[in-house]
C-alpha cells in the first residue's frame, strides 16, 4: 500500500499543487488522503477539489481547544503516515505533533527567522542569503529538526513579494524531493 499523506494549507496552495502534480507524474508514490484548511476562501481548496482530494475545512473561529480537537479527530480518522504542512499558518498542539509525523516548509534558513514574517524579517536584517527549510514539526515554532535546506540569495531591490516568490519556486521542488526521500523511513499506520 502507498504511504498515506495528509496535507495542511491555509492559502494559495502552490506547494500543495506541486505535491499533487508530482503524484500525477508518478514522481511521488503516495496517496493524498485529504487536506485540512483553516481558511474558507483559500485557493488551495479549489486546487484539491480539482484533484478529487477530500477537504476538511476547520476555521479557527471556534475556541482553540475545539479547533485542536477537530484537527485531532481528522488525523485519527484518516490515519496518515505523514502530515505535510504546506503553507499552513497555524500552530499545532503538542499532543498532535507527538502523535503524528508532521513536516513543515518554512521560507527561511532555520533557525534564522522563525515565525510568520520570515521573509520580511530576512529583508529587515539585511542578510545576503536566505532560503527555505523543510523540518520536522515539534511543539515549538519552527524549532523542529531540520531535514533539508536550500539557500537563496537576496538580490538588490528585492521586496517581500519578489523574494518570497523566488523562495516558493525552490520550496516547491524541495518539498517534493524531501517527501520522496522520507518515504522509505515512514512506518505505515494502517492495515
Query: Residue 85 domain-assigned?
Result: yes
- CB burial string 104-131: b at 16+ within 10 A, e below: bbbbbbbebbbeeebbebbbeeebeebb
Residue 190 has pLDDT above 80, yes or no: no
Residues in CB range of 129: below 8 A, 6 or more apart: 109, 151, 152, 153, 154
Residue 131 and residue 168 in contact, taking contact as beta carbons nearer than 8 Å: no
Kindly report which listed range (27-41, 44-58, 174-188) carries the lowest average pLDDT score.
Answer: 174-188
Query: Residue 191 domain-assigned?
Result: no
Residue 94 has pLDDT above 60, yes or no: yes
Query: Residue 86 domain-assigned?
Result: yes
Query: Residue 146 domain-assigned?
Result: yes
Query: Residue 190 domain-assigned?
Result: no
As a whole number of angstroms, the distance between CA 170 and CA 167 comes to 5
Residue 61 has pLDDT above 90, yes or no: no
Query: Residue 93 domain-assigned?
Result: yes
Residue 110 has pLDDT above 70, yes or no: yes
CA angle 166, 37, 146 (to 5 degrees): 50
Question: What pLDDT does 191 receive?
Answer: 44
DSSP 104-116: EEESS-TTSS-ST
Kindly report which listed range (35-44, 62-71, 102-111) carries the lowest average pLDDT score.
Answer: 62-71
Q: Would residue 106 show up in a list of annotated catalytic residues for this protein?
A: yes
Query: Residue 24 domain-assigned?
Result: yes
Q: How many domains does the chain have?
A: 1
Place of cell 522563525: 114
pTM here is 0.94
Q: Model confidence at 64, in pLDDT bands (50, 70, 90)?
A: confident
Q: Residues 113-172: pLDDT tens digits?
A: 999 999 999 999 999 999 999 999 999 899 999 999 999 999 999 999 999 999 999 999
CATH code for the domain of 68: 3.40.50.170
Residue 89 has pLDDT above 50, yes or no: yes
Q: Which domain holds residue 7?
A: 3-185
As a whole number of angstroms, the distance between CA 83 and CA 75 comes to 9
One of 106, 117, 164, 190 is an active-site residue; which one?
106
Question: What pLDDT does 62 receive?
Answer: 67
Amino acid at each position: 500500500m502507498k504511504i498515506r499523506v495528509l496535507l495542511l494549507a491555509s492559502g494559495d496552495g502552490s506547494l500543495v499543487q506541486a505535491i499533487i502534480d508530482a503524484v500525477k507524474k508518478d514522481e511521488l508514490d503516495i496517496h493524498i488522503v485529504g487536506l485540512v484548511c483553516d481558511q474558507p476562501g483559500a485557493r488551495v481548496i479549489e486546487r484539491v477539489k480539482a484533484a478529487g482530494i477530500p477537504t476538511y475545512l476547520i476555521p479557527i473561529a471556534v475556541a482553540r481547544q475545539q479547533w485542536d480537537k477537530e484537527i485531532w479527530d481528522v488525523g485519527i480518522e484518516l490515519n496518515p503516515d505523514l502530515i505535510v504542512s504546506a503553507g499552513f499558518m497555524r500552530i499545532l498542539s503538542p499532543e498532535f505533533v507527538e502523535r503524528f509525523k508532521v513536516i513543515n516548509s518554512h521560507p527561511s534558513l532555520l533557525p534564522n527567522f522563525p515565525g510568520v514574517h520570515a521573509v520580511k524579517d530576512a529583508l529587515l536584517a539585511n542578510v545576503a542569503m536566505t532560503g527555505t527549510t523543510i523540518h520536522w514539526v515539534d511543539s515549538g515554532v519552527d524549532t523542529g529538526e531540520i531535514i533539508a535546506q536550500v539557500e537563496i540569495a537576496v538580490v538588490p531591490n528585492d521586496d517581500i513579494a519578489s523574494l518570497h516568490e523566488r523562495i516558493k519556486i525552490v520550496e516547491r521542488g524541495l518539498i517534493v524531493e524531501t517527501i520522496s526521500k522520507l518515504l522509505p523511513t515512514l512506518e505505515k499506520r494502517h492495515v
